[in-house]
């Protein structure tokens, strides 16, 4: 039986798209659901383009009920992937899917992680600190932002004249290259 992936995203969903593309004709795994807390998120259009069902949920539904957990359990989800999802995962979801929730962070953790550190906030902090490299971190999700066990890191060099857009582009290239591959290798290690 194919492994089943659910993706949480809050925005555009470019990483979600790369993951959906990667697993579209994969014999081992498939994306079965896209979940978002943002009814305007472009990831919903991307899910529709791949004919993958989507679920929009409210803060109340996510934190005060087991509706999302029940949905994921009913779909027999093996791995939950956070791809630009901005809310802290509730403990109830962590307990329901232990070591089965991963996240991508656009910096080399433990640097530039924590509450409020996402997207441009991360890249601007890296620029302000005049770092000569940055990168991406794929990690297991814990009950604290960006503190779960690291699965994979990739780096890129920051040139002196790189601006925010260049750093974002370099990081996104690594995200699109590595995230689907890391997901695939994790799924292969999971017991059937």
pTM of the entire structure?
0.96
> What digits encode the pLDDT tens for the residues 3-52?
999 999 999 999 999 999 999 999 999 999 999 999 999 999 999 999 99
* pLDDT computed for residue 107 by the predictor: 97
Structure tokens at 133: 């490299």
Residue 59 CB partners (closer than 8 Å, separation 6+): 37, 87
Q: Half-sphere exposure of 49 toward its Cβ, with a 13 Å CA cutoff?
A: 12
C-beta of residue 74 within 8 angstroms of C-beta of residue 32: no
Residue 190 — very low, low, confident or very high, per pLDDT cuts 50/70/90? Answer: confident
CA–CA distance, 92 with 56 (Å, rounded to integer): 19
> What's the fold here for domain 3-189?
Rossmann fold (3.40.50)
* pLDDT computed for residue 62 by the predictor: 98
Which has the minimum average pLDDT: 59-63, 71-75, 94-98, 142-146? 142-146
Residue 1 — very low, low, confident or very high, per pLDDT cuts 50/70/90? Answer: confident
Cα separations in angstroms, 46 against 11, 19, 31, 49: 11, 11, 12, 5
Alpha helices in 33-102 (DSSP H): 43-49, 59-64, 67-74, 91-96
Q: Is the pLDDT of residue 192 over 70?
A: no
> What digits encode the pLDDT tens for the residues 36-45?
999 999 999 9
Angle at 47 between CA 118 and CA 145, to 5 degrees: 25
> What digits encode the pLDDT tens for the residues 142-156?
999 999 999 999 999
* pLDDT computed for residue 172 by the predictor: 96
Query: Which residues are identified as catalytic?
Result: 105
What ranges do the domains of the chain cover? Answer: 3-189
Structure tokens at 157: 């060099």
């Amino acid at each position: 039986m194919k492994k089943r992936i659910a993706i949480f995203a809050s925005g555009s969903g470019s990483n979600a798209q790369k993951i959906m593309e990667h697993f579209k004709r994969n014999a081992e795994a498939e994306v079965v659901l896209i979940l978002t807390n943002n009814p305007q998120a472009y990831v919903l259009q991307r899910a529709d383009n791949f004919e993958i069902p989507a679920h929009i949920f409210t803060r109340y539904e996510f934190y005060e009920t087991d509706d999302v957990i029940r949905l994921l359990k009913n779909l027999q989800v093996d791995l939950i992937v956070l791809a630009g999802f901005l809310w802290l995962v509730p403990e109830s979801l962590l307990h329901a899917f232990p070591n089965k929730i991963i996240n991508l962070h656009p910096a080399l953790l433990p640097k530039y992680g924590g509450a409020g550190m996402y997207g441009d906030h991360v890249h601007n902090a890296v620029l302000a600190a005049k770092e000569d490299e940055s990168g991406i971190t794929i990690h297991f999700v814990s009950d604290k932002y960006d503190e779960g066990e690291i699965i994979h890191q990739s780096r890129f060099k920051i040139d002196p004249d790189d601006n925010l857009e260049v750093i974002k582009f370099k990081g996104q290239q690594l995200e699109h290259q590595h995230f689907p591959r890391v997901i695939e290798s994790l799924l292969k290690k999971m017991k059937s």
